[in-house]
């Protein structure tokens, strides 16, 4: 049976107590991740380990998640999925930290970096808010390899992975715009042809989340010049009540589709969509699967393959090809982002709408459609 040990962040040496506190093989399914609940983390470190040979794991990896924690059905869960995949396929062991506050990032990173039992071959830092702490940790521990998602840290021992979120968000905006301008009903939601608004809910306002906004707004505009985008930044990635309030205000102002880039805050967007009879578009993972209780209002999700970044970074440790000092950018062409249709509602989206979205995707890949990275 699986055992899990949680250790509080108590100082740089605290990770030493983690050694040996692991259990049997972890489950790698989306269902097991969803079952973890919506706790959002509590500043703890979790140890999990795959079945390994008598000689031990092929590598030891530390995972420092973004605030909001596991169970978000989105960004952090997608990162964990990459770790679970490489654990199962390549026999690594990984330990997990779920900071509550930005100020805890450096503590967890340095705990992993200073550990001697085990020695961590790689520390994965999930989210752009970790960039400052990664820069400090990389300088203080030059022999420690780190990877960061969603930001670029210029250090020889850091591999940076970014995504072209604006490209995938463009397709989400186009889908929202085209459906919003026609009478459409599916699941628990509906649109009216005379609608003039759709919505975007962001987490922390930043250059990164503005990329989602920019792509979405451009896609909406290209779909129909008569549709406006209502925008609200809640200020956090784990504020379900704030997401619900923001989206409810948008639905009450005439929006019938709301797209979020807000981590677990987006759960509130889905709640509002159900309550108001509208639709939502998820982010990072196929949220019609990770949040199945809201699948009846989920048109689709802008999937961001954070799992691929984690997998590739860990694999590079095993193949001695770690891309330290470089930045890797993944977009539609690299299959780093994509628009996927909802598990329940996808088949009910008209084929001509799907065709228009597909054509737009090919146009972006071909370079015929340029998508801005900042709102106009």
Q: At what angle do helices 165-180 and 207-223 cross, to 10 degrees?
A: 40
Give exposure, 352-367, as e/b (b: 16+ Cβ within 10 Å). ebbebbeebbeebeee
> Shortest CA distance to 186 belongs to which of 34, 346, 362?
346
What is the band of 194 on the pLDDT scale with cuts at 50, 70, 90? Answer: confident
Q: Does domain 6-163+306-330 have CATH number 3.40.50.720?
A: no
Helices vs. strands in the chain: H and E counts, helices first: 11, 16
The CATH H-level superfamily of 165-304+345-366 is: Response regulator (3.40.50.2300)
Q: Residue 50's pLDDT is what?
A: 40
Q: Residue 74's pLDDT is what?
A: 87
What is the band of 41 on the pLDDT scale with cuts at 50, 70, 90? Answer: very low
The answer to whether residue 27 scores a pLDDT higher than 50 is no
Mean pLDDT of 346-374: 97
Mean pLDDT of 100-108: 96
Strand arrangement of the beta sheet that strand 298-304 belongs to: 228-233, 197-202, 255-261, 279-284, 298-304, 337-341
Do domains 6-163+306-330 and 165-304+345-366 share one topology? The answer is yes
Q: Residue 195's pLDDT is what?
A: 79
What does DSSP assign to residue 233? E
Which tokens in the block code for residue 376?
């106009």
Q: Residue 306's pLDDT is what?
A: 95
Task: Locate the domains of the chain by residue range.
Answer: 6-163+306-330, 165-304+345-366
pTM of the model: 0.81
Residue with more model confidence, 37 or 224: 224
Whole-angstrom distance, CA of residue 263 vs CA of residue 284: 8
Supply the mean pLDDT for the chain.
87
Q: What is the pLDDT of residues 137-175, one digit of tens each?
A: 999 999 999 999 999 999 999 999 999 999 999 999 999
What is the band of 59 on the pLDDT scale with cuts at 50, 70, 90? Answer: very high
What is the band of 77 on the pLDDT scale with cuts at 50, 70, 90? Answer: very high
Mean pLDDT of 171-181: 97
The answer to whether residue 22 scores a pLDDT higher than 90 is no
């Amino acid at each position: 049976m699986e055992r899990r040990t949680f250790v509080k962040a108590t100082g740089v040496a605290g990770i030493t107590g983690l050694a040996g506190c692991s259990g049997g093989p972890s489950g790698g399914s989306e269902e097991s991740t969803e079952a973890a609940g919506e706790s959002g983390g509590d500043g703890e470190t979790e140890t999990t380990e795959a079945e390994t040979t008598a000689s031990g794991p092929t590598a030891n990896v530390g995972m420092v998640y973004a605030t909001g924690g596991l169970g978000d059905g989105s960004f952090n869960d997608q990162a964990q999925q990459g770790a679970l995949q490489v654990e199962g396929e390549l026999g690594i062991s990984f330990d997990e930290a779920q900071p509550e506050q930005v100020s805890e990032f450096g503590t967890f990173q340095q705990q992993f970096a200073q550990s001697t039992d085990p020695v961590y071959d790689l520390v994965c830092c999930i989210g752009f808010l970790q960039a400052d702490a990664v820069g400090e940790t990389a300088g203080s521990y030059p022999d420690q390899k780190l990877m960061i998602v969603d930001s670029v840290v210029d250090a020889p021992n850091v591999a940076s992975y970014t995504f072209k979120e604006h490209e995938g968000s463009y397709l989400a905006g186009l889908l929202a715009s085209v459906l919003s301008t026609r009478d459409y009903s599916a699941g628990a939601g509906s649109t009216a042809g005379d609608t003039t608004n759709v919505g975007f809910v962001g987490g922390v306002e930043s250059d990164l989340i503005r990329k989602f906004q920019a792509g979405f707004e451009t896609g909406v505009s290209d779909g129909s010049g008569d549709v406006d985008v209502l925008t609200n930044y809640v200020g956090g990635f784990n504020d379900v009540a704030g997401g619900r309030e923001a989206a409810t205000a948008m639905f009450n102002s005439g929006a019938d589709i709301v797209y979020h880039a807000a981590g677990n805050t987006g759960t509130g967007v889905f709640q509002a969509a159900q309550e108001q009879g509208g639709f939502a578009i998820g982010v990072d993972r196929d949220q019609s699967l990770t949040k199945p209780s809201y699948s009846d209002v989920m048109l689709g999700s802008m999937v961001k393959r954070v799992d691929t970044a984690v997998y590739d970074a860990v694999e590079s440790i095993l193949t001695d090809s770690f891309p330290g000092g470089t930045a890797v950018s993944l977009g539609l062409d690299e299959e780093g982002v994509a628009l996927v249709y909802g598990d329940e509602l996808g088949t009910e989206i008209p084929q001509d709408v799907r065709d228009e979205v597909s054509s737009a995707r090919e146009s972006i890949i071909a370079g015929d459609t340029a998508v801005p990275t900042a709102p106009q």
